[in-house]
Amino acid sequence: MRLHVINPNTSRDMTYSIEQISTANVSGETEVLTTCPAHGPASIESYYDEYLAIPHVLAEVQRTEATTDGYVLACWGDPGLDAVREVTTKPVVGIAEASMYAANAIAPRWSVVTTLRRSHHMVEAIVKKTGLMERCASIRCVDMPVLACEANPDAVMEGLVHMGELALSEDGAEAIILGCAGMGGMAEYLSAELGVPCVDPVAAGVRFAELLVNLNLQTSKWLTYQFPEKKAFK
């Protein structure tokens, strides 16, 4: 099996971190290709960033479609997820969806702890789209930029612990989802500090992608995710 894990931003350091988490969480028989686009935003923290990143994510998918068994979009906003599903028959997993499905199986209510406060609405939108808002106790933000996960991980971890404690004590959460791919590798420490399960979204994403490939499930082309109609572009 070959999975292509795509970091939709252009940060090489974050891509390396995502690669480490991905390879550590797949079976020994699975090969992982981890890439990021050559062009696009250095991090995705706004709708503007997201929309600029999506064409380059699609290009990454189309570049490897013939040699890949499944895709993982390693950004918690799942940028371009529906569009990617239109251009391939291979299963495509967004780490936001995968982490919520995982949390749903282990806790009646869970919270997402993410980065900047301005990202709150984007996170809320993806939770609503996935249909799991009733299970989401809260969305908490450490209010630090995405790239701080690489540049200042200790401060990010301190923020995660604080916001996680508030989610448990004030919001009724019983599990925590890390709401950024850059937070990879922090779940184990956070779980030990808080005493509840914490979901690493990249780990959940690659595991879920493996499951879909092993079940021989492909993206449905019945209607919504049909290949795009061929038309002229200017």
- Supply the pLDDT for residue 167: 98
Spatial distance between the Cα atoms of 45 and 115, rounded to a whole number of angstroms: 8
Spatial distance between the Cα atoms of 163 and 179, rounded to a whole number of angstroms: 12
Look up residue 178 and give its two tokens: 């890390």
Triad 173, 49, 140: Cα angle to 5°: 15
Residue 214: name the closest of 18, 5, 26, 16 by CA: 26
- Supply the pLDDT for residue 56: 98
- Supply the pLDDT for residue 148: 95
Alpha carbon distances (Å) from 76 to 81, 146, 232: 11, 11, 32
Spatial distance between the Cα atoms of 60 and 78, rounded to a whole number of angstroms: 15
60 touches 4 (CB < 8 A): yes
Spatial distance between the Cα atoms of 184 and 89, rounded to a whole number of angstroms: 28
- Supply the pLDDT for residue 75: 98
Prediction pTM value: 0.97
- Quickly list DSSP for 85-105: HHH-SS-EEEHHHHHHHHHHH
pLDDT tens for the chain, 234 residues long, are: 999 999 999 999 999 999 999 999 999 999 999 999 999 999 999 999 999 999 999 999 999 999 999 999 999 999 999 999 999 999 999 999 999 999 999 999 999 999 999 999 999 999 999 999 999 999 999 999 999 999 999 999 999 999 999 999 999 999 999 999 999 899 999 999 999 999 999 999 999 999 999 999 999 999 999 999 999 999
Spatial distance between the Cα atoms of 70 and 67, rounded to a whole number of angstroms: 9
- Supply the pLDDT for residue 63: 96
